[in-house]
Copies of this chain bind each other. A is one copy, B any other.
Amino acid sequence: MTKANTQMAAARAGKITPQMLTVAKDEGIQPEVLRDLIAQGKVVIPANPAHTNLHPVGFGEGTRIKVNVNLGRSQTTSCLTDEVAKVEAALKYGADAVMDLSTGPDIDSVRKAIIEACPAPLGTVPMYGAVNPVDDVAKLTVDDFLRTVKEQAEQGVDFMTIHAGLLKEHLPLVDSRLTGIVSRGGALTARWMKVHNRQNPYYEHFDEVLDIAAEHDITLSLGDGLRPGCLHDASDAAQFAELDTLGELTKKAWARNVQVMIEGPGHVPLDQIADNVKRQKKVCHGAPFYVLGPLVTDIAPGYDHITGAIGATLAAWAGADFLCYVTPMEHLGLPDLEDLRNGLIAFRIAAHAADIAKGHLGARDRDDAMARARYAFEWERQFELALDPDRAREYHDKVPAATQHRASRYCSMCGEKYCAMRNSALK
């Protein structure tokens, strides 16, 4: 059994690592408090020692809500330089983590380039790498699945989505759904199990996955292969059966000092979101919760960064720790740079609004500074304080002659005479 070389092992041994010191400083919490949360599994710091340019980030209880950007080429679209440009955009607009979900040609070199360009924690779904060289997932062996986990760990990936909780026994529960399985990794795993009539290889060989994770300090992001793909399928027996298995796997990982977070839905009606979060936290013993959206309606393709941000805000407020962004291209195609920007800002709004609602220390300071800048008509200061200064400046200047209003105590929306703040401040 591999000895764990992980943040969790260090924390449980009472050690405060350099990574913990950085995170504690960034979060404004005591290193000892952070260490104890890591020891309990309530906070993770995905920090693969092979990711040499990493600036470590903490996820979980007591930390600021984080946002992940998914990127990566598809089988047909994009290339290495496109994806490195996306990493740069993700960092510019404030992503806390990046997942490379590349599929198709050259994905090893794409991943290498992304890791080198990315000081943020980097995640992958090793299943995509495993299935890449074959035309049907059914052709893969258990060794193939494990080998990609190991290769990507050696390459410097910090966290990995592993769909180990989706069992053969769960598959009949999917039959009553409208949209079946909508997780890419989940659907591939399900197909493999059906063709071979065997158990999930990541579940059966979870100890070997843990060996790799313990050696390289890979944080396992236990995937929700059965997350609902539409409102109708939310909170169903399939989803919760898998969640129960994720709870078991969490304990197994912790017994090996492997860091774990849990992935969650998906598409969920507003009134089920808080219950979903609370159930996850209970079933998975307080492990950090990483949600995709959730999307609160199915009828807004082209605007799913908004349907997702609404659900994410509620999820984060209810206790989710880490938000995976959704872009306007969701359900329609591969996002480009502008889609990434729109999706990321929407989710930064969600994270920030929830930090404020949770009373996170100092979370509202920047809002108050913005309020002061607005009342003083300090336009440049407003742009500086904006989540997306370029966009704020561009929109302000969209109206003819607006730049010359830059020094004015009003904007083109109301004009001088009707400006409420101007009139409010008149003596």
Interface residues of A (CB under 8 A from B): 74-77, 103-104, 128, 131, 135, 137, 174, 178-184, 186-188, 190-191, 229-233, 269-271, 296-303, 305-307, 309-310, 313-314, 317, 328-334, 336, 345-346, 348-350, 352-354, 356-359, 364, 366-368, 370-372, 374-375, 382-383, 385-388, 391-392, 394-396, 398-402, 411-426
Contacts and interface: CB of A to CB of B under 8 A. Distances in A.
A420 B301 CA distance: 18
B421 A357 contact: no
A304 to B, nearest CB: 9
A328 B388 CA distance: 12
B178 A232 contact: no
A178 B368 contact: yes
Contacts of A330: 413
Given A333-B396, A415-B104, A424 B180 contact: yes
A332 B413 contact: yes
A187 B270 contact: no
B418 A188 contact: yes
A298 B367 contact: yes
A353 B310 contact: yes
B423 A352 contact: no
Q: Which 4 A-B residue pairings sit nearest by Cβ, starting from the closest?
A: A75-B415, A230-B371, A270-B357, A180-B424
B232 A188 contact: no
Contacts of A368: 178, 230-232, 298
A178 B372 contact: yes
A263 B209 CA distance: 57
Nearest to A367: B298
Nearest to A426: B191
A268 B83 CA distance: 38
A375 B180 contact: yes
A124 to B, nearest CB: 14
A269 B313 CA distance: 12
Given A333-B398, A374-B331, A187 B300 contact: no
A135 to B, nearest CB: 7
Contacts of A420: 180-184, 186-187, 229
Nearest to A270: B357
Contact of A270 (B302, B303, B353, B418): B353
Given A137-B423, A178-B372, 9 more contacts: A191-B423, A270-B356, A270-B357, A299-B370, A300-B348, A302-B392, A303-B349, A309-B310, A334-B413
A399 B329 CA distance: 10
Contacts of A417: 75, 103, 131, 135
Contact of A387 (B229, B299, B313, B346): B299
B332 A392 contact: yes
B371 A178 contact: yes
Nearest to A76: B415
Given A131-B418, A178-B375, A371-B178, A231 B356 contact: yes
Contacts of A387: 299-300, 303
A359 B399 CA distance: 42
B182 A424 contact: yes
Contacts of A231: 356, 364, 367-368, 371
A302 to B, nearest CB: 4
Contacts of A423: 137, 181, 184, 187-188, 190-191
| Residue from A182, A187, A329 with most neighbouring chain B CB atoms (10 Å) | A187
A353 B311 CA distance: 10
A411 B333 contact: yes
A334 to B, nearest CB: 5
